[in-house]
Amino acid sequence: GQNIDQPTEMTATEGAIVQINCTYQTSGFNGLFWYQQHAGEAPTFLSYNVLDGLEEKGRFSSFLSRSKGYSYLLLKELQMKDSASYLCAVRDEEDSSYKLIFGSGTRLLVRP
């Protein structure tokens, strides 16, 4: 079956570092995405990993281990505006389509 797990909620302090984990079991794999979604808004793209290792993009980094079915999103120098849901999604390639399988999201609360 298809399954993506991530913690439901996390709390962190402004200026700190937080790591949001994601584990997945899918029938196919051609990339893992992280999206940020503020309440009532559309998901916005943060990062993409298709090979093992770390991808860094400013304050955000994402790591992938395909053998372990594991990824994490690292947010540094947290700001209040980082309070949002973070969605882990796997691209499941079947019949050359482009289907994203999402986890339920991790609600991050950044406190002063």
Binders of another protein in range 16-35 (CB under 8 A): 31, 33, 35
The Cα 88–Cα 41 span in angstroms is 16
E strands within the chain?
3-5, 9-13, 18-25, 32-37, 44-49, 53-57, 60-65, 70-75, 84-92, 99-102, 106-111
Decide if residue 69 touches another protein (CB under 8 A).
no
Q: 73, 105, 108, 110: which one contacts another protein (CB under 8 A)?
A: 105
Among 5, 14, 38, 50, binds another protein (CB under 8 A): 50
Judged by CB, which is closer to another protein: 38, or 68?
A: 38
Smallest Cα–Cα separation from 103: which of 17, 19, 25?
Answer: 25
Distance of closest approach, residue 78 Cβ to another protein, in angstroms: 22
98 binds another protein (CB under 8 A): yes
